[in-house]
């Protein structure tokens, strides 16, 4: 909706969702997300990095942990929630009643330039 307001153009909704065509970022592509996430963490110019991510994302908890541990001291907080179900269609893959929110915490090791 915000894209349509921002563009202030005419647009014909398509499909079930009525979304307009858009370019997905590499963080939304299963084959690209790991490399792009690692590149982001590696090049981030911050001492602390916090990432809130749930168990239904493209990267698993262990994928994020493995990448973050390479760059400093890593810790994790987990919160369980009742899973929100917007509809009851058979086409949905999510059979779980619970979802887990992970707060990945990284204190980056600062490497001194020589």
Residue-wise pLDDT tens digits, 19-75: 777 778 999 999 999 999 999 999 999 999 999 999 999 999 999 999 999 999 999
Q: What is the pTM of this model?
A: 0.74
Number of domains in the chain: 1
Tell whether 113 is covered by a domain: no
Tell me which residue range forms the domain holding 29.
2-84+98-108
Tell whether 53 is covered by a domain: yes
For residue 98, is pLDDT > 80?
yes
Residue of higher predicted confidence among 89 and 81:
81
Say what the pLDDT of residue 1 is.
64
Burial 71-110 (b: 16+ CB within 10 A, else e): bbebeeeeeeeeeeeeeeeeeeeeeeeeeeebebbbebee
Tell whether 90 is covered by a domain: no
For residue 110, is pLDDT > 80?
no
Tell whether 92 is covered by a domain: no
For residue 113, is pLDDT > 70?
no
């Amino acid at each position: 909706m915000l894209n349509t307001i921002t563009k202030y153009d005419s647009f014909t909704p398509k499909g079930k969702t009525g979304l307009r065509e858009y370019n997905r970022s590499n963080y939304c592509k299963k084959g690209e997300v790991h490399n792009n996430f690692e590149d982001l963490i590696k090049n981030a110019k911050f001492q602390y990095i916090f990432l809130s991510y749930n168990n239904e994302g493209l990267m698993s908890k262990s994928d994020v942990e493995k990448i973050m541990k390479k760059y400093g001291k890593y810790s994790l907080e987990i919160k369980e929630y009742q899973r929100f179900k917007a509809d009851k269609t058979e086409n949905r893959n999510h059979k779980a009643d619970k979802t887990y929110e992970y707060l990945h915490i990284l204190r980056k090791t600062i490497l001194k330039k020589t």
